[in-house]
Structure 1
Amino acid sequence: MKLTNEIMYQASLEKNPDFEGVYWMAVKTTGIFCRPICRARKPKRENVEFFLNTNDALEKGYRPCKVCKPLENLDATPPEIEQLLKEFSENSDVKIKDSDLVEKGLNPTKIRRWFIKNHGMSFQEFQRKLNLNEAFKKIQAGENIIETAYNAGFESLSGFNESFKNVFGVSPKNSKTQNIIDLKRIETPIGTMYAAATGNGICMLEFTDRKSLEKEFLELSKSLNAKIIIGENAHLKLLEKELSDYFEGKLKKFSVPLSPVGTEFQKSVWKVLEKIPYGEIWSYKKQAQILGDVKKVRAVANANGLNKISIVIPCHRVIGSNGKLTGYGGGIWRKQKLLELEKAILF
């Protein structure tokens, strides 16, 4: 599909989110440029022009819209919070109080609001969850429960036991029977993602604005009989490093261990996806042929849509037989950006 001015103008009239990140519309009469989903009143067709990146709009003298803020990733983690998360990642024993935030020049109330909005909990509760995650792993590794409780910042064993049971559903003494899934936010050039991993590998990598995310979390937790909790592990660290290298054009094949959750048929479809080389595009029909049954094209397409490990299991490399970019959970615009990055296809 060729991306014409008419298509872009109509998408802006409809505030179509599928075109987020694909183009920006500039208004000649006001001198501003906007996202496709901007809620500001839409100008006449003859008063607009379109750009495929923000730099071109800026170089031509347009200013970013104050309503839709086209230069910002609205879901991105602010730099000051990135720094806090980095401290936690590098030292699991670190504990940051409100007074420490003030010393760092940060507003505790602002930090608290961000964590409530993006993690559903306060900053202090986020830290407690991280500490409990680390304590859980230490106890499973055989470390002393009392010593672990005090190292996690709890002043009493009873308080530790109560908090532990509230999060994991079992007491520290009985935690050998419980499983956990570590969860982490990861920033990418095309949006913020949630990554989840067990000790076996990555089991989820999804964009935070995906509508079905809550449902996916529930299904993942149920399938693995595990609690999802904010945390870190070696697989997540490797994933973050490899994603960074991928978007910088330094990596073409991921090595991070994967542990996808699905039916045997779905897993077989995803295995075929992993075989698609960087920079190539396949059709659903070709996938079905490799699986040995060309009649399963629709079933293959459905399985692709249920892939919960975006980018690493590259369902973005599959397009329709007619050459069109078909549905993608993260949005068609992201599919296009990934293929452009891999120099596989352009509109």
Structure 2
Amino acid sequence: MPLSVAVAGASGYAGGELLRLLAGHPEFEIRTVTAHSNAGQKLGAVQPHLRSLASLDLVDTTPETLAGHDVVFLALPHGASGAITEQLGDEALVVDCGADHRLASEADWAAFYGGDFFGAWAYGVPELPIGGARKQRELLVGARRIAAPGCNASTVALSLAPGIAAGVILPTDIVSVLAVGPSGAGKALKTNLLAAEILGSANPYAVGGTHRHIPEIQQALRWAGAAEPTISFTPVIVPMSRGILATSTAVLAPGVTAAEVRAAWEAAYAGEPFVELLPEGHFPRTADVLGANTALLGLAVDEAAGRVVVLAAVDNLVKGTAGAAIQSANIALGLPERAGLATNGVAP
């Protein structure tokens, strides 16, 4: 018998991507979809690309409408899911795609988000090295509460954690610059995300250490072994609907060779179905991961600058959000990790 699923926030981009992937999952049955202002409409009216689910009715997002399911996915704005999850029982697996349960530090939450603090859940990045030979995956086995990652945060963490864990890069003076598609900012109408504002332009935002994913990145790097990681993080909106290309550089540890650097990343992601280190001299494009739960990494050592350079490409709505949520749910439930998830992208 399939597991019953509810998706809250089904009218948004993250909710729509969850539904697209869940529709092809062999073990899940979507029974309830919820929304706020779009409640009362058919799902097909707000997500017309989801033809197989178009007849579902969007209902109000309440603990009552979410109760009674085996799995609940939340795709709500930050601050909206914490109060709801407190009223859900322990029977369901709950996966939050928002920010409410990502940070373990209440001080970080207050500084970057504000409002009520609801505590951290198991972090939904299975491949993340967390010291020694351990991966975050083992902390997801049997979990009943999972926090899916911030798309920018997981992209940068996956880029750098192998080097931190192996001691081949220094955890201070890290610099990450990301080209990101505007779908990562959600579906709400915002002037700076209008087509007239972004087409033909690259637009930096949250400059100077203000982006909310910074403490999440630092938290992940601490898990990998960094004592006090510091990072300069600058995202730039570019005119592509989805995708992230993150360029991260870190200082090469004294005496470490380029071969040792590559060996660290190769060892970290050997056998991983959804994170792949490209051959030497090859670097990823966002076009190659669209629609896929795949993170592609390219690696180089800048000998003159004494820095390691990592480029990572992901689809922010798949591996960055919905795909990571479903992959983590598969692990928690003891299902095949790849169930419902593709490694092949869409081209052109």
Normalising to structure 1: TM-score of the pair? 0.29
Instruction: Work out which structure has the larger RCO, using CA pairs closer than 8 Å and 6 or more positions apart in sequence.
Output: 2
The structure where helix makes up a greater share of residues is 1
TM-score, normalising length from structure 2? Answer: 0.29
Q: Which has the higher strand share?
A: 2
